[in-house]
C-alpha cells in the first residue's frame, strides 16, 4: 500500500485504473472511495464514494459487514444520490447471502453543492465531476470561528461578556484541507472558490501517452496533456496524481510525468502508484 505524507496529512492506499481505488486519511478519519477494503480501514468512520464504477466502491460490503460483526456503530457513507437505492438493494442481498440477516449501515445520498458536516469541525463540499456515469468529487474543509474585525484587540473578558449577552462576536471560516476529484476528465475549478487553494489535491491522471488521447476522451478520464493547465490554475501545496492506466509501468509513469514538469513544480507533484 502506498503512503504519502503531505504536511499534516497522510494518504495511504492504492489507486489503479479499473483495478481498485481506496485512499485513507487517518488524521481526518476518512476514506475516499473503497474499491477494496483492507482490514485496517474498517475502523475509519467516514467514507466518501465518488461513483459506482466497481473499482471505486466494491469494498463497501466488507466495510459494512466487518463493522457490523465487530459491533462498531455504522460509519457515515456518502454516495452519489443517483445510485443509492440500487446500492442499498445490493448490500441487503449480499447480507442475506452472507448471514441470512440484515447489516446495520447508513448511506448518505449526496448531490453536487451539498455541504456535509462531520466530526466536530469538518465539512465535505460535494463537487461536480466530468465522467461517463454520475460522479462527484469532495473537498474537505476545517471550520473555525474567527473574531469579527470590530472586536479584534478587545480583552478576553470583554469578549466573553459580549458572548454571554448574546452578541455574535465571530464568523465561521473554512480552511480547505484536501480535495479528491474522483474520476473526471476535467478539473471542476469554478465549482467552489476555495478549491484552487486546497492544501492537498488528489487528481486522477489515467492516460499519459499522445496515442491515448482519444481513449481518454471516450472514457472521460484525465490526460497528461491537461496537467500544465492544472498546475497553473491550482495553488495547492501538494498535488497527488493517481489512477494510472495499467498500460504503463511505474517507471514509465515517473518518466513521462517528470518530463512534463517544470523544476518549480517537481516538489509539489506526488505520484501515488
Nearer to Zn ion, 141 or 253 (CB): 253
**Binding Zn ion by CB under 5 A: which of 14, 33, 174, 183?**
183
b/e code 78-112 from CB counts within 10 Å (16+ = b) = bbbbebbeebeebbeebbeeeeeeebebebbebeb
User: Site for Zn ion (CB under 5 A): which residue of 24, 46, 53, 125?
Assistant: 53
Beta carbon of residue 21, minimum distance to Zn ion (angstroms, whole number): 6
Residues near 134 by beta carbon (within 8 Å), at least 6 away in sequence: 51, 52, 80, 82, 83
| Cell numbers describing residue 249 | 509501468
Q: State which of positions 137-156 bind Zn ion (CB under 5 A).
A: none
Q: Is 270 in the site for Zn ion (CB under 5 A)?
A: no
Pick the closer one to Zn ion by CB: 12 or 183. 183
Using CB atoms within 10 A of its CB, is residue 37 exposed (0-12), middle (13-18) or buried (19+)?
A: buried
For Zn ion, which is the closer residue by CB, 174 or 183? 183
Q: How far is the CB of 131 from Zn ion (least distance, A)?
A: 6
Of 45-53, 93-101, 233-241, 251-259, the segment contacting Zn ion by CB under 5 A is 45-53
Helix/strand/coil for 86: helix
Least Cα distance to 236 among 152, 177, 151, 153 occurs for 177
- Residue ranges that bind Zn ion, judged by CB under 5 A: 53, 183
Amino acid at each position: 500500500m502506498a503512503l504519502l505524507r503531505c504536511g499534516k496529512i497522510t494518504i495511504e492506499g492504492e489507486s489503479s485504473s479499473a483495478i481498485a481505488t481506496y485512499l485513507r486519511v487517518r488524521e481526518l478519519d476518512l476514506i475516499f472511495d473503497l474499491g477494496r477494503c483492507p482490514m485496517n480501514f474498517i475502523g475509519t468512520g467516514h467514507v466518501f464514494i465518488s461513483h459506482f464504477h466497481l473499482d471505486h466502491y466494491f469494498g463497501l460490503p466488507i466495510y459494512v459487514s466487518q463493522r457490523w460483526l465487530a459491533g462498531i456503530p455504522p460509519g457515515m457513507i456518502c454516495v452519489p444520490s443517483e445510485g443509492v437505492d440500487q446500492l442499498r438493494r445490493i448490500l441487503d442481498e449480499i447480507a442475506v447471502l452472507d448471514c441470512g440477516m440484515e447489516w446495520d449501515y447508513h448511506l448518505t445520498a449526496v448531490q453536487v453543492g451539498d455541504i456535509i458536516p462531520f466530526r466536530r469541525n469538518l465539512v465535505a463540499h460535494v463537487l461536480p465531476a466530468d465522467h461517463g456515469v454520475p460522479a462527484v468529487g469532495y473537498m474537505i474543509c476545517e471550520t473555525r470561528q474567527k473574531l469579527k474585525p470590530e472586536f479584534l484587540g478587545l480583552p478576553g473578558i470583554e469578549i466573553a461578556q459580549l458572548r454571554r449577552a448574546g452578541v455574535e462576536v465571530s464568523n465561521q471560516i473554512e480552511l480547505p484541507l484536501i480535495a479528491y476529484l474522483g474520476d473526471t476528465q476535467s478539473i471542476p475549478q469554478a465549482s467552489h472558490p476555495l478549491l484552487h487553494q486546497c492544501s492537498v489535491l488528489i487528481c486522477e491522471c489515467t492516460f499519459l501517452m499522445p496515442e491515448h488521447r482519444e481513449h481518454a476522451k471516450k472514457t472521460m478520464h484525465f490526460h497528461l496533456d491537461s496537467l500544465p493547465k492544472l498546475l497553473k490554475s491550482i495553488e495547492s501545496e501538494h498535488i497527488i496524481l493517481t489512477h494510472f492506466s495499467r498500460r504503463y509501468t511505474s517507471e514509465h509513469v515517473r518518466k513521462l510525468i517528470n518530463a512534463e514538469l517544470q523544476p518549480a513544480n517537481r516538489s509539489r507533484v506526488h505520484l501515488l502508484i
